[in-house]
Every structure is written in structure tokens, then in C-alpha cells.
């Protein structure tokens, strides 16, 4: 159903019964908005997100989630977390392989051979013709182990351990990074709801101001200009309300994507949004970030892995000593090439004398990567120290800003109350009341921004440090 009201109808209604006309117009617009926000669902298909009415405006919200639920579902749905967890699993497997290099390798073999090429000796009676064909069967076990590798195995195991530490730090870093993304989306949805409430309050004040202006115009104590200005303020308030509704709807869809839902998700308001003190002092927070932040741990592990790679590449100049042994079970056969039963033990040494400068190239690459890793680790440590100090300072500023914003709202509310009474008594002008209304609206918007700026700054600090503060 569509609601069509032309300008003449609206103005005629305003002249005769202004308050009733405004109420009728609001009801019509809200009814149309609610019907537009509830699309028809085909039979047999799941219902779409049900519209939730916030101060008369339909916003499509499927479910309200609190912050812990948002973070948990975001981690479960994030491909970044899946990639970090799989990287951690691969790093554990690499460490297992590096440890297994200290153990002997064991293999089994078997063979079946049929051939007419046989040995002319050792079988039958002298002078008898050799058989046309013969069969050979064999099975055996063999084992080998490196006795000396010049330190290669130890260096590779150390590198695998460093890679595992880096993967663990990266996994923790990604976990808190996704928590920051989820927190931002959650607080953005909360901010959208608060903006809509602030816009609705402005509409209510504008409607009340329009009623006062119309009463004074009818009483002859104000001009038509006062009514037009009040109507203009009401129009601006409704435009702000529509913009806030769009902001909330967009934030709900964004939050739904973060938590892995195909429907818009709303944010369930926490018990309080007031600033809370940190568990540690400012200097302790900065020191904690420098020593145990996930980014620092990952960079340090990468540096250790680079140093281990250099040591492993230098072992190519040393010989490799390998012990091999085994035992074969075989059928006695005259077939040439058949495996003979018995055991064997071999000790071998290999040392490449020249391989086209491959060893030199491996060492050069490893040293270059190690140098870059050392520089990166130092730079990451400096960056984390700077970011931690900056976020701690910003958090204190945001906390003070929240307190100032609360004071501004209280002062603006009292100022508007005084100006409204003065205007109703005919002492002040409508311009004074409109100015106070705008000041209150700006103060409410500032309070919303201050609250969520504090929460996002705190979440950013926790993501940097890698723990809840």
C-alpha cells in the first residue's frame, strides 16, 4: 500500500487542525515505512529478517547479539582465523619432521622374478642342460640413519621450533585482530542505534516546538515566520532520522557479515558503556606490549628462524656420514640378478666438492633473509612501543572526552528547557529555542561519538597487546 499526500491537502489540514494533521501525517509515513520494510515471503521459504521498529522507523534486524557472542561467531566464521590455525598445524608437522630426522628410517621390500636367464653353474648335475626358466622370490628389511650431518639436523629443528613459535604468535595476533574487527562492527551497530534515538529525540523536540509556534501564531504573539522556521527544523530532524536509520541498517548488515550470517544482526547493548580503569598502569601496558605483543613475538621468532637457516646452509660444506643395514629373505635361485639371502651393513660418506656454487648461493640467500628478519624485528618492536603509548594516551583523552560530553548534554538540556519556557512565555524568540535545540542535538551526537571512540580505542589497545586489559 502506498500513501500519497499532495501539498495542498497537507497545508489545508495544517491550517484547520495543525496538530491532528501532523499526527496523521506521521502515522501515514510510519505505516508506509513499515510496509516497505516487510517484504512478502514466498510460501515454503524461510522468513526474512523481521522489521524492528525503533521510534516508529522500521529497521530490519534478525537477532540481537552481545559482544562476547559477536566475537565468538566472528572467529568461527573468519577465513583469516582458519588460515592461521592451518598454518599452526603445518608448523607442528614441520617440527615433527625435523625431530624425526634423528631417528632411523625403516623400509620393507619384496620382489618376485621369473626369467629364463639363469646362471650356468651351481645348480644341477654337470652336463645336464640348464632349465628353460626359473622363479625367484625375495623380501627384506632395511634401515638407515645419518650419523653425522655437520649440525644440519639441529639447525633445521631449531628453525622448525622458531617457525612454530611464529605461527603460534600469528594465530594469537589474528585472533585479537578479528576480535577488534568484530568489536568495531558491534560498536558501529550500537552507535547507529544511539544515533537513531538521538534523531528521534530531535524530531520529538521539533514537533513540540512546532506546536508551540502554532499556538503563538494563533494567539497573535508570533509571526508566520516562527511557524515556518519550526517546520523547517522538523523537516531537518526527519531527514536526520532517515539518515540515522540508513546508518543503523548498514551497520546491521555489516555486523551480520562479520558473524557469518546472511541476515542483518543487531547489537545488544551491554550493561554499561562507561569507561573502566585498565588492569595495569600505563608503563606496564607499554612494557607488556614491547615484550609479549603477538607482532613482536612473531618477528622475534622469524629472526631466530633466519639465524637457524644460515647455520643449516653452512653445513653443506661438511661431509654427511650415513649408516645403512638390512636383511633379505630369498629363495635360492639360479636366476641372474635374483636377490641372495643374508644381511648387509654399509657405512658411507658423501661430500660434494663442487656443485656449481649452489652452496654459496644458499648461504647468501639465508644470510640476506636473516639480516632482513633482524631489522624487521627491531622495527616491529619500536612500532609496537609507539602504538602502545599512543593508544594509552588516546584512551585517557577519550575517557575525559566522555565526561565532557556528558556535561555538555546536561548543560544543553537545561538550556533548552529554559529557552522553551521563555519562548512559551513570550520572552525570547523562536530563533533562541531553535539554537538551543541544535546545540542539544550536537551535544547528544558528541556523546555518542565519545562513548564509542573510547570503546574502539580500548579494543585496539587490547588487540595490540594480545590480551584483555
Q: pLDDT tens across 168-184, in order?
A: 988 988 898 999 999 99
- Those residues whose C-beta lies under 8 Å from the C-beta of residue 199, and which sit 6 or more positions away, are 237, 240, 241, 243, 244, 245
4, 5, 8, 10 alpha-carbon torsion, rounded to 10°: 180
Radius of gyration of the chain (CA): 39
Instruction: Please report where in the chains the cell 621450533 appears, as a residue.
Output: 161
- How many CB atoms are closer than 10 A to CB 141? 14
pLDDT at residue 467 tops 80: yes
Distance of alpha carbon 254 from alpha carbon 187, whole angstroms: 11
**pLDDT value for 120:** 66
Q: pLDDT tens across 68-87, in order?
A: 999 999 999 989 999 999 99
Grid coordinates given for 154: 639441529
Distance of alpha carbon 87 from alpha carbon 298, whole angstroms: 13
Instruction: Identify the three-state secondary structure at position 304.
Output: helix
* 101, 146 Cβ separation under 8 angstroms: yes
**pLDDT value for 15:** 40
Q: What is the pTM of this model?
A: 0.72
**pLDDT value for 12:** 42
Distance of alpha carbon 101 from alpha carbon 121, whole angstroms: 45
Q: pLDDT tens across 422-446, in order?
A: 888 778 788 888 888 889 989 989 9
Q: pLDDT tens across 9-66, in order?
A: 434 444 433 333 333 333 333 443 333 333 333 333 333 444 555 445 577 888 899 8
Q: pLDDT tens across 284-308, in order?
A: 999 999 988 989 999 999 999 999 9
List of long-range contacts for 384-391, beta carbons under 8 Å, 24+ apart = 384/289, 384/290, 384/293, 384/295, 384/296, 384/464, 385/286, 385/289, 385/290, 387/289, 387/464, 388/285, 388/286, 388/289, 388/290, 388/293, 388/461, 388/464, 388/465, 389/286, 391/457, 391/460, 391/461, 391/464
Give the lowest-confidence range in 42-51, 241-250, 380-389: 42-51
Distance of alpha carbon 97 from alpha carbon 91, whole angstroms: 10
- What does the domain layout of the chain look like in residue ranges? 1-36, 51-86+163-300+376-465
Q: pLDDT tens across 318-370, in order?
A: 888 999 999 988 877 777 777 788 888 899 998 888 888 988 999 999 999 99
The one-character DSSP state at 104 is P
Give the lowest-confidence range in 11-20, 194-203, 235-244, 327-336: 11-20
* 428, 422 Cβ separation under 8 angstroms: yes
The H or E element containing residue 344 is strand 342-350
* 416, 436 Cβ separation under 8 angstroms: yes
Taking the alpha carbons of 404, 407, 413, 417 in that order, is the dihedral positive or negative?
A: negative
Cα 409 vs. chain centroid, distance in angstroms?
35
- 51-86+163-300+376-465 CATH: 1.20.1600.10
Angle at 425 between CA 419 and CA 430, to 5 degrees: 50
* 125, 62 Cβ separation under 8 angstroms: no
Percent of the chain surpassing pLDDT 90: 38
Amino acid at each position: 500500500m502506498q500513501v500519497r499526500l499532495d501539498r495542498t491537502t497537507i497545508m489545508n489540514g495544517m491550517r484547520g487542525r495543525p496538530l491532528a494533521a501532523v499526527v496523521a501525517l506521521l502515522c501515514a509515513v510510519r505505516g508506509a515505512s513499515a510496509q516497505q520494510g516487510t517484504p512478502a515471503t514466498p510460501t515454503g521459504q524461510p522468513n526474512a529478517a523481521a522489521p524492528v521498529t525503533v521510534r516508529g522507523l522500521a529497521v530490519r534486524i534478525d537477532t540481537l547479539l552481545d559482544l562476547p557472542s559477536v566475537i565468538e561467531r566472528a572467529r568461527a566464521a573468519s577465513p583469516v582465523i582458519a588460515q592461521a590455525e592451518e598454518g599452526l598445524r603445518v608448523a607442528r608437522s614441520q617440527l615433527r619432521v625435523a625431530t624425526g630426522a634423528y631417528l632411523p628410517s625403516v623400509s620393507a621390500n619384496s620382489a618376485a622374478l621369473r626369467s629364463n636367464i639363469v646362471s650356468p653353474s651351481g645348480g644341477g648335475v654337470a652336463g645336464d642342460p640348464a632349465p628353460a626358466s626359473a622363479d625367484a622370490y625375495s623380501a627384506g628389511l632395511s634401515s638407515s640413519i645419518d650419523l653425522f650431518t655437520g649440525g644440519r639436523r639441529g639447525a633445521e629443528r631449531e628453525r622448525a621450533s622458531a617457525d612454530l613459535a611464529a605461527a603460534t604468535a600469528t594465530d594469537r595476533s589474528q585472533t585479537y585482530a578479528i576480535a577488534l574487527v568484530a568489536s568495531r562492527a558491534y560498536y558501529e551497530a550500537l552507535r547507529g542505534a544511539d544515533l537513531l534515538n538521538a534523531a528521534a529525540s530531535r524530531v520529538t523536540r521539533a514537533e513540540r516546538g512546532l506546536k508551540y509556534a502554532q499556538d503563538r501564531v494563533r494567539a497573535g504573539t508570533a509571526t508566520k515566520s516562527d511557524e515556518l522556521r519550526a517546520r523547517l527544523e522538523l523537516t531537518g530532524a526527519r531527514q536526520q532520522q532517515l539518515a540515522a536509520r540508513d546508518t543503523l541498517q548498514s551497520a546491521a548488515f555489516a555486523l551480520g557479515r562479520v558473524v557469518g550470517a546472511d541476515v542483518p544482526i543487531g547489537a545488544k547493548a551491554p550493561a554499561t558503556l562507561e569507561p573502566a580503569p585498565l588492569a595495569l598502569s600505563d608503563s606496564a601496558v607499554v612494557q607488556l606490549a614491547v615484550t609479549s605483543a603477538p607482532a613482536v613475538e612473531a618477528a622475534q621468532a622469524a629472526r631466530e628462524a633466519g639465524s637457524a637457516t644460515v647455520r643449516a646452509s653452512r653445513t653443506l660444506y661438511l661431509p654427511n656420514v650415513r649408516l645403512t643395514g638390512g636383511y633379505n629373505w630369498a629363495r635360492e635361485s639360479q636366476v641372474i640378478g635374483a636377490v641372495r639371502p643374508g644381511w648387509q651393513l654399509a657405512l658411507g660418506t658423501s661430500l660434494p666438492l663442487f656443485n656449481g656454487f649452489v652452496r654459496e648461493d644458499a648461504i647468501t640467500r639465508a644470510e640476506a633473509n636473516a639480516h632482513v628478519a633482524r631489522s624487521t624485528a627491531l622495527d616491529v618492536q619500536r612500532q609496537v612501543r609507539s602504538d602502545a603509548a599512543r593508544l594509552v594516551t588516546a584512551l585517557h583523552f577519550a575517557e575525559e572526552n566522555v565526561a565532557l560530553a556528558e556535561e555538555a548534554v546536561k548543560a544543553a538540556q537545561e538550556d533548552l528547557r529554559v529557552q522553551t519556557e521563555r519562548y512559551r512565555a513570550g520572552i525570547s524568540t523562536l530563533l533562541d529555542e531553535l539554537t538551543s535545540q541544535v546545540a542539544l542535538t550536537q551535544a547528544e551526537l558528541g556523546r555518542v561519538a565519545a562513548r564509542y571512540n573510547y570503546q574502539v580505542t580500548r579494543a585496539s589497545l587490547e588487540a595490540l597487546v594480545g590480551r584483555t586489559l
